[in-house]
Structure 1
Amino acid sequence: MFVSYKWLKEYIDLKDISAEELAEKITRSGIEVEGVEHKASSIKGVVVGYVMECEKHPNADKLNKCLVDLGGEAPVQIICGAKNVAKGQKVAVATVGAVLPGNFKIKKSKLRGEESNGMICSLQELGIEGKLIPKDFAEGIYVFPSDVEVGSDAIALLNLDDKILELGLTPNRSDCLSMLGVAYEVAAILGTDVKLPNTKGESSVEKASDYVSIKVEAPEENPLYVAKIIKNVKIGPSPLWMQTRLMAADIRPHNNVVDITNYILLEYGQPLHAFDYDKLGSKEIIVRLAHEGETIITLDDSKRTLKANHLVITNGKEPVAMAGVMGGANSEVGDTTTTVLLESAYFNGQTVRNASKDHGLRSEASARFEKGVDPNRIHDAAERAAKLIAEYADGEILEGIVEVNTMKIEPAVIEISLEKINRVLGTEITETQVLDIFTRLQFEVKTEDTTFIVTVPTRRGDITIQEDLIEEVARLYGYDHLPTTLPTGATTPGGLTDVQSKRRAAKRYLEGAGLYQAITYSLTNEEKSTMYALDKREPIRLAMPMSEERSHLRLSILPGLLDVVSYNLARKNESVALYEVGSVFLKTTDQEQPEEFEHLAGAITGIWHSQLWQGEKKSVDFFVAKGILEGLFDKLGVSHSIVYRAAAIEGMHPGRTAEILWNDEVIGFVGQIHPQVQKDMDLKETYVFELKTASIFANEVQPLHYTSIPRFPSMTRDIALVVDRNVEAGTLQQIIVSAGGSLLKEVSIFDLYEGEHMEPGKKSIAFSLKYFDPERTLTDEEVVKAHDKVLEAVKQQAGAELRG
């Protein structure tokens, strides 16, 4: 909510408090003021000038030579390039020496040989956004009304010397979505009164009820509908002061009638709508729920198809407005309008929200209806608007109002004791102080012993229970004045759980290994939702997705990471290494929430290591990805329980993919993306991994046991085993470790041969075996005995033969 400091002064006595001091007081009372903007703080030397003469520049087709009276001794010549500049206009002139936004200084100059002593300004050049400027002046200079005084301060006339407070309102404080609401709040803070605007206008002898009848067929959605009729209206621009206030509140001026309805919206927080009475085509207004599939062309010239839960205003035959959201083009107030039907109503917030959301039409009006308007301001807002239309559009107000009123909203009455207020706040506030706070808030209050019976005005719909009253007392008493105490009793220091510690350790390790953390959407499209899923389940579709690309919950993190890799490659970031720790979602039943599990995934492509000076360059391959995981498992203390097994996974390279098993349970996989997928996604050779973290993060790691450095020498034996091509190296390694006994300490693979000297269908895998005993020196006989057991085991269990 944007609050004009100068406008606020019309309702309350600010007692010479500056805008900045007021902002501090409002913030301390519980509503955050996000900033105080003074648009004219850097603007100097801009006055109203009168264009006495205007002719084409002799040396430039697109420039005009103007003689401008600035209210001084003699007029000055100014060269202006605006298309709409003309003789007889009153315009904003930045004089020589003036400073405009952006520290733009005006100097005397020559343009195509002609002297220019200043600049005739557009509103954009004075710091007003183009989207807020009236359409007549959106391109070109701004022209003041003819009654402004030449030489007067243009900045003051445009209200740019005002200061605007931006309130960051929480949803419960919809009462402050109006100038009067803010005035009540500030009056309570300062302990002063609110001066309400005059709503009484003179009416003619003709009755409004002779012109229109109202029927409400949906009383729950529209319990109160008020209509007033104003005749003989003359459409034109609204007064300058009103236009500038609207622009300061981020609303674009249109014409006097529309601007007045917007002005009342800001002043009272009550949305209004003005219909061209002659365009309605009937003398009745019927408020009803729309027919399914019914259409309306709204003020933005869009044809909209309505649903059965949308509320519409009709002329008895067809919709003329979407209630609380937007009017129809068929009843729009325009230049030819002479009679206005003014609508002021209470619409159900959820109903307005449904229509606003369905059509993507969120406006100042719909936002207020959604949060709740004050039912006791609806009549006053209509009367105030009618009075202003009569005053600034020469309208004639017809006597009376036409309404349907089934409203049953009553003020909330809450009882609370002084003891409870002090007990909850930890204070010793007196009865007199509490009474003073409720009086400043303009709540009706009675006392019985030490109990307060408070009647809350309908403008404060957020106050319904005792705790709400306690909050009001606390914030106006002053949060800074509430006593502070330290906790008592035994306390325990906070700390991370074991799972949290391991998650952090995993992140630190991966980042140390050179991977960047990514955070991708949990929502994806139907096709990607099931790609690379470790657990195959039916994908979960959202009931109301924001788009088809974000319509399903993911079963795997990898599709999102691959999108990130593709995005980076498209922007010439050739080497990418990413990881993410996030949730995947598995369906249970249609009636239950999905199960949520944490996964860890990574994606790597490009150059992994390079030393260009030495001519070294290593691209990412399967063993880089696998090595990263091995380091991670070692860091987490689970490497002894991890086994890799060749696997065929859809979307992965058939010969460069391995499942990861932890205690015989498949917890993930690592490998290269299938070449076809890489091609489809414009990827280079890309390696990925994904793991379930629940098992490895929850695993209880045994304390570290240190052993002394061996004092006795070890013995190494290298063997090359010839086996069938389908025998996996990991299988052979497990057989060797099992057969080697306590003396075999290390087993590593150092060679694979499948060349021309090997018979068809065979391969040679070479292992290095290290034997030692930490307590003594081994003899050759002991090593040979243990080694023979290994050779026998690989022969019997894997059909391996020693390569000659």
Structure 2
Amino acid sequence: MKISLNWLNDYIETGLAPERIAAILSDLGFPCEGIERLDDDTVLDVEVTSNRGDCLSHIGVARELAAATGKELRLPQVELDEVDKDASEFVQVEIAEPDLCGRYTARVIEGVKVGPSPDWMVRRLEAVGMRSVNNVVDATNYAMMETGQPPHAFDYSTIEEGRIIVRRAVAGERIVSIDGSQCELGDQMLVIADAKRPVAVAGVMGGLETEVSDTTTTILLEEAHFDPVCVRTTSRRLALPSEAAFRFERIVDIEKVDWASRRTAQLIVQVAGGRVARGVVDAYPRRPEPREVTMRLSRLGKLLGIEISSETVVNILSALCFAPRLSDDVVTCSVPTWRSDIVREVDLIEEVARVHGYDKVPTRRRIRIEAVPADAHQKMAQSIGGFLNGCGFYETVTVTFIDRAIADLFAGSDATANLGVKDVSRRSANLLRQTLLGSLLEVLKTNVNARNLPCRVYEIADTFRPTQDRSALPDEKTKVALICSGDFRELRGAVEGLIRHIDRRAAVDFVPVDVSWAEVGAEVTVNGRAIGVAAVFSESVRNRLDFKDLAPCGAELDFAELMALTGAPISIRPVPRFPAVERDLSILVAEETPWRAIAQAVAASASAELEDVRFVDIYRGKGIAPDKKSVTLSLRFRDEDGTLTHEVVDGYQAAIVQRLGEAVGAELRTM
């Protein structure tokens, strides 16, 4: 933003050198990037942050200087010599999209004479980088650079039926902008239209057909407030940047629209003659409520690290037009309508700090940096990651948001609706995830498409489940999720190993349960307490993600439950003195018989010499009835006091086979 000091002097007389003014603005948060000296003027190039649209004008910058220096701010005195004919007899205004246009004013000026602008206006506009067009257009540009509110002047004679309609464009509509650009409009764009066609792209640029020309004698003057997101999106899509769009994108003061309109009309009459119709057509469907923000003096001192007297705080906020009211420790401020960036306590603290001076915050010659050791949560995450890496799983970091299609895959019949955000950049993937498995499945899909198989991935991250009280914060929990493209046994082995890596004495079990998104599911329990689920994904999930020749499986565990496990101390046993005897059994059982039932039956009948039971394989096919399956398991026996004989082991095995027959209807398979 270029600031002419000659122009600035109309609103505040600082009596300071340009370098000092530049330094003050820099201290206030508006760095000066350059000082240019002209014949009779000095121009400062000031950087204005995107949240301070109120300072994209000479009056805005003068207001900041007045607060910092204590000098008086002088605003232009606006007086209009109006004719008896009312503006409503010339024009009618309708706002069809009040969400996108908060206010629209129209004034009519008759008898103008379009021609060159006076030298003083041309010099000031050129000083801030704007070229002169004609006296009417120059007056609108001058008003914009003065007030920060972009106006637009139409040739009234080109407006059909004297009607202004602020509406969305119809898809396929076209308009030629003032700079000659051919603009094809979309239905998400806002336009200013008359009774027949669009005459301007709202907040961006006017149309060529209705621009002010040498033959114009009557002006329809627009001052309005447009939605910043709509203006920005439209300007980018049409590749049509403008000074007006630049300001509307950063929010203009909706309450000052009428004052800015009167000031612009005054400037037009001053340089182009004419008379202003009485009054204004002001469409203002939703007047915003006044805003108040409170600030605790104790919080100010704690956040800044310095003490600022209450009197100084009140004086600073008064100079910034916040009308502060002090009561004990609390300052209550009425936020000026031009300060859209002030919404919370810390914003007021920042205002006090920047005007009081950051240079008053003490500094030390030496800064102490203390390394903080990893906490229990970080140590556990590192331990889990290290173990899973050893199992061939790679860590992935995914986005916390998912789309509706993925969320619905894991939404059971009693699932709580996902929380979402309204951010326009996340209209598709805008839901906070309740499980990490959906995100990991998309990672698996990417690897499958790249033919990067086998694929094993895991993630440690937060999930968000809404509570019954919709006004309360969601239930946020950290989860550990694993997905692999291989057999479920690989996943189960990794889960069991992970749990026993944390607690060697943990009793891990997989209890069959129905899971809405699973073909086969199990509840993972540790010492009888459920800590998560593990499952093979259902056909509907596989089809949604286009896993044609793949049956992926996944597990999700509660991180807090893993943290709660108490690791057993390391104990040392002597190497066994006597050899073990291993026997493999192949048994025929019903197709629906789970491995858990088989393992429990073996444990119920086993002697103390049974050291281990391991699953080996499942066979279905030739020689096996359709409703049966062959399960092979391995038994390992060892006697701590001597060498086992095969005759003794045969007895142990016979007892196990008998118990399997009674418990699960197993038959010993013969070749």
What range is the shorter-chain TM-score in? Answer: 0.5 to 0.7
Q: Percent identity?
A: 18
Amino acid at match of 1:793: R
Shift, 1:302, TM fit: 3.2
**What's the secondary structure of 2:656's corresponding residue?**
helix
**What's the secondary structure of 1:189's corresponding residue?**
helix
Counterpart check, 1:167 vs 2:34: no
Q: 2:216 aligns with which of 316, 338, 345?
A: 338
Which is bigger in relative contact order (C-alpha 8 A, separation at least 6)? 2
Distance 1:668 1:388, change over 3 A: same
Q: TM-score if structure 2 supplies the norm length?
A: 0.67
Report if the CA contact (8 A) 1:268-1:377 is conserved. no
The equivalent residue for 1:229 is 109
Counterpart check, 1:302 vs 2:304: no
The equivalent residue for 2:239 is none
Distance 2:24 2:55 in 1: 15
Distance 1:801 1:688 in 2: 31
Report if the CA contact (8 A) 2:615-2:634 is conserved. yes
**What's the secondary structure of 2:28's corresponding residue?**
helix
Report if the CA contact (8 A) 2:2-2:43 is conserved. yes
Q: 2:2 aligns with which of 1, 4, 7?
A: 4
Counterpart check, 1:659 vs 2:522: yes
The equivalent residue for 2:498 is 632
The equivalent residue for 2:280 is 403
Shift, 1:24, TM fit: 4.5
Report if the CA contact (8 A) 1:678-1:685 is conserved. no
Report if the CA contact (8 A) 2:291-2:334 is conserved. yes
Q: 1:769 aligns with which of 636, 640, 661?
A: 636
Shift, 1:338, TM fit: 0.9
Distance 1:758 1:375 in 2: 84
Q: 1:529 aligns with which of 390, 407, 410?
A: 407
**What's the secondary structure of 2:566's corresponding residue?**
coil
CA deviations on 1:155-179 (whole Å, 9 max, x unpaired) are x99x9x9875443354xx5533434
CA deviations on 1:358-401 (whole Å, 9 max, x unpaired) are 9967995697599561745743564356536864xxx3232576
Q: 2:566 aligns with which of 701, 712, 716?
A: 701
Distance 1:188 1:566 in 2: 59
Distance 1:529 1:463 in 2: 36
Report if the CA contact (8 A) 2:589-2:629 is conserved. yes
CA deviations on 1:274-312 (whole Å, 9 max, x unpaired) are 2221123456x789x989x99998775637599xxx9x9
The equivalent residue for 1:720 is 585
Distance 1:566 1:779 in 2: 51
Report if the CA contact (8 A) 1:540-1:587 is conserved. no
Deviates more, 1:778-787 or 1:789-798: 778-787
Distance 1:557 1:676, change over 3 A: closer
**What's the secondary structure of 1:167's corresponding residue?**
coil
The equivalent residue for 1:669 is 534
Q: 1:731 aligns with which of 597, 620, 642?
A: 597
Residues 552-591 of structure 1 mapped to structure 2, 5 A cutoff: 557-568=436-447, 570=449, 576-580=455-459, 581-583=461-463, 585=465
Distance 1:573 1:192, change over 3 A: farther
The equivalent residue for 1:373 is 253
Distance 1:704 1:324 in 2: 72
Amino acid at match of 2:2: S
Report if the CA contact (8 A) 2:227-2:248 is conserved. no
Distance 1:664 1:330, change over 3 A: same
Distance 1:373 1:738, change over 3 A: same
Q: 1:478 aligns with which of 353, 357, 381?
A: 357
Q: 1:26 aligns with which of 25, 28, 38?
A: 28
Distance 1:458 1:717 in 2: 84
Amino acid at match of 1:734: Q
Residues 443-522 of structure 1 mapped to structure 2, 5 A cutoff: 459=338, 472-481=351-360, 502=380, 505-511=383-389, 513-520=392-399, 522=401
Counterpart check, 1:183 vs 2:62: yes
Distance 1:565 1:180, change over 3 A: farther
**What's the secondary structure of 2:274's corresponding residue?**
strand
Shift, 1:354, TM fit: 10
Shift, 1:469, TM fit: 6.9
Distance 1:497 1:626 in 2: 26
Distance 1:437 1:550, change over 3 A: closer
Distance 1:563 1:254, change over 3 A: farther
Amino acid at match of 1:794: L
Shift, 1:517, TM fit: 1.2
Distance 1:416 1:728 in 2: 64
Distance 1:522 1:534 in 2: 19
Distance 1:678 1:165, change over 3 A: farther
Contiguous gaps of at least 5 residues in structure 1:
41-152, 486-492, 606-619
Amino acid at match of 1:184: R
CA deviations on 1:222-265 (whole Å, 9 max, x unpaired) are 78946251644548999697478468xxxx99987557545533
Report if the CA contact (8 A) 1:522-1:583 is conserved. no
The equivalent residue for 1:15 is 17
Shift, 1:767, TM fit: 0.7
Report if the CA contact (8 A) 1:578-1:604 is conserved. yes
CA deviations on 1:428-485 (whole Å, 9 max, x unpaired) are 65788668746865789999xxx99999876557779999877644432234535799
Residues 191-206 of structure 1 mapped to structure 2, 5 A cutoff: none
Distance 2:304 2:515 in 1: 62
CA deviations on 1:124-171 (whole Å, 9 max, x unpaired) are xxxxxxxxxxxxxxxxxxxxxxxxxxxxx9xx99x9x9875443354x
Report if the CA contact (8 A) 2:586-2:633 is conserved. yes
The equivalent residue for 2:158 is 279
Amino acid at match of 2:604: S
Shift, 1:522, TM fit: 3.0
Amino acid at match of 1:531: L
Amino acid at match of 1:724: V
Distance 1:530 1:589, change over 3 A: farther
CA deviations on 1:486-531 (whole Å, 9 max, x unpaired) are xxxxxxx998576x765564445445644131314633234x4332
Report if the CA contact (8 A) 2:630-2:669 is conserved. no
Amino acid at match of 1:661: V
Distance 1:564 1:360, change over 3 A: farther
Q: 1:794 aligns with which of 641, 660, 668?
A: 660
Distance 1:783 1:456, change over 3 A: closer
**What's the secondary structure of 2:571's corresponding residue?**
coil
CA deviations on 1:66-122 (whole Å, 9 max, x unpaired) are xxxxxxxxxxxxxxxxxxxxxxxxxxxxxxxxxxxxxxxxxxxxxxxxxxxxxxxxx
Report if the CA contact (8 A) 1:200-1:383 is conserved. yes
Distance 1:521 1:509, change over 3 A: same
Report if the CA contact (8 A) 1:752-1:763 is conserved. yes
Q: TM-score if structure 1 supplies the norm length?
A: 0.58
Report if the CA contact (8 A) 1:230-1:390 is conserved. no
CA deviations on 1:607-658 (whole Å, 9 max, x unpaired) are xxxxxxxxxxxxx554444443333333344994444478998887x7xx65
Distance 1:537 1:446 in 2: 48
Report if the CA contact (8 A) 1:209-1:400 is conserved. yes
Distance 1:641 1:413 in 2: 59
Number of aligned residues: 627
Report if the CA contact (8 A) 2:323-2:333 is conserved. yes
Distance 1:432 1:539 in 2: 50
Distance 1:675 1:454 in 2: 57
Shift, 1:418, TM fit: 11
Distance 2:481 2:132 in 1: 53
Distance 1:748 1:417, change over 3 A: closer
Distance 1:367 1:471 in 2: 23
Report if the CA contact (8 A) 1:411-1:456 is conserved. yes
